[in-house]
Amino acid sequence: MITILNDNFSQLNDFLHGNSFSKIFILVDENTHEYCLPVLLGNMETDLGFEILEIEAGEEMKNIQTANQLWEILTEMQADRKALVINLGGGVITDMGGFVASTYKRGIQFINIPTTLLSMCDASIGGKTGIDLMHFKNMVGTFTFPEQIFVYPKFLETLPFKELRSGFAEMLKHGLIADKNHWENLIRINKLDIESVIPHIQASMNIKQNVVDQDFHEKNIRKTLNFAHTIGHAIESLCLEQGNPVLHGEAVAAGTICEAYLSYLEGLLSEEDSQIIIENVQKYYPYLDISDFKDEDIFTLLLNDKKNVNSKINFSLLSGIGSCIFDHQCSQKNIAESLKFYRKLNNA
C-alpha cells in the first residue's frame, strides 16, 4: 500500500503502533542520513529501540559486499524475525535494503520511505529488490513486497537537479508505455523542478502499481516496465564497469532514444512518433557519450538481460505513444542501427 505522508507522519506512527515489531533498523546513505533522517526522527513516535545503518551513497555500493556487511550487522545486533527494516533513501537503498531484509533469516519485514523522485515513482513500488553482480544490473534479488510505502514529497526539496531529472526518465517511460495523456502532461514541462514534477508523481505511481498488480512476477505485462532498460541497463553497466557511473535515469533516457528508434526500425512505431519521443528526451537530457563502447560489449550485456529466454534477446518496445509490447526479438542489424543512430546524435 502506498501512503502519502502528512507533515506529522501520523500514518507511519499508526503503522508502527499497530504492529508488534521487536526493534527498528533504519537504512540510510550519507545523504539521506543528513537530509532525511532528521525529518523522520523528528516525527517518528515509537517506544521501540532503533539503530541506524549507514552505507555510502551510490550504485557502486549495490553489491554483495554491502549486503554481507548489513547481514553481519543485523546478526551482531541480534535482529530477530520481528525486526523491521525502514529503507529511507533512493532506489539503491530500497533495492538493497529490500534485498537484505527479504533474505535475512529467510525474510524480515521492511517498509520503504523513498526520498528521490525515482524511488517515489518507481523503485520503492513493486517489490523488485536486488543487487548488481559483476556490474550486471540487479542480477541477484527477490520479488518481495514491502509492508508499506510511505511517500513524503517534501524530501525532494534537497534532491540535486541531476537526480530529479534521473527520476523524470522513469516517469516519461510510464507515459510512453501506458498513458499518452501522462506523457503529454510531462513533456509540457519546460522547467524541470520540484514544483513542476510533484503534480505528476501520483499518476506515475498509479501506472507502476497498476502494472505490478497485474503481473507481480514479470511473466507478461510487467515486462513493459522494462522498456528502455534492455539497452539502458547495458549502457549503465558499461559505464559502471569503466569506473564512470551514470545515473540510472540517464541511462534509461539514452535507452529510451535507442529503443524508440528500434521500435520504428522494427515497424512497430511510426517514424513521426519516434521523432517526437527522441526530440523530447533530448530536450531534457544531454547526450551520453557511448562512442567508446564496442557493439560487441553491448551485445554481451544484452545477452544477459533477465527478460531473455533460450539466448534470445527479448525487447519491450513501443507500438505507439502510450502502448508497449513485450517479448519482441529484433534483428541484430536493427539493434546495431539503433546504437549507431544514438551515437550520431552527438554530432547532430
Ligand X SMILES: O=C(O)C(=O)C[C@@H](O)[C@H](O)[C@H](O)COP(=O)(O)O
Q: Name the residues that contact ligand X, by CB under 6 A.
A: 122, 126, 128, 137-138, 170, 218, 222, 225-226, 229, 306
Q: Which residues contact 205 (CB under 8 A, 6 or more apart)?
A: 2, 120, 121, 125, 151
By a kind-dependent CB cut-off of 5 to 8 A, residue 255 interacts, out of ligand NAD, ligand X, none, with: none
First-to-last alpha carbon distance for the chain, in angstroms, is 45
Q: Quick check: 28 and 61 in contact, CB under 8 A?
A: no
Q: How far is the CB of 137 from ligand X (least distance, A)?
A: 5
Instruction: Say how many C-beta atoms besides its own lie within 10 A of residue 263's C-beta.
Output: 29
Indicate the length of the chain as a whole number. 348
146-185 residues in contact with ligand NAD (CB under 6 A) are 155, 158-159, 163, 166, 170
Q: Candidates 53, 118, 221, 231: give the one binding ligand NAD (CB under 6 A).
A: 118
Q: How far is the CB of 173 from ligand X (least distance, A)?
A: 7
Does the annotation mark 344 as catalytic?
A: no
| Residue of 59, 163, 170, 236 with catalytic role | 170
Q: Candidates 26, 93, 186, 265: give the one binding ligand NAD (CB under 6 A).
A: 93
What does the alpha-carbon distance between residue 284 and residue 29 come to, in Å, rounded to a whole number? 27
Location of C-alpha cell 515509537: 46
247-286 residues in contact with ligand NAD (CB under 6 A) are 248
Does the annotation mark 308 as catalytic?
A: no
Q: Candidates 119, 226, 263, 316: give the one binding ligand NAD (CB under 6 A).
A: 119
Strand 84-89's sheet: what is its strand order?
2-4, 149-151, 109-114, 84-89, 24-29, 50-55
| Residue of 76, 106, 191, 219 with catalytic role | 106
What does the alpha-carbon distance between residue 156 and residue 253 come to, in Å, rounded to a whole number? 20
What is the bridge-based pairing of β-strands 109-114 and 84-89? parallel
| Residue of 248, 250, 259, 266 with catalytic role | 248
Catalytic positions are 106, 128, 170, 208, 218, 222, 226, 229, 233, 248
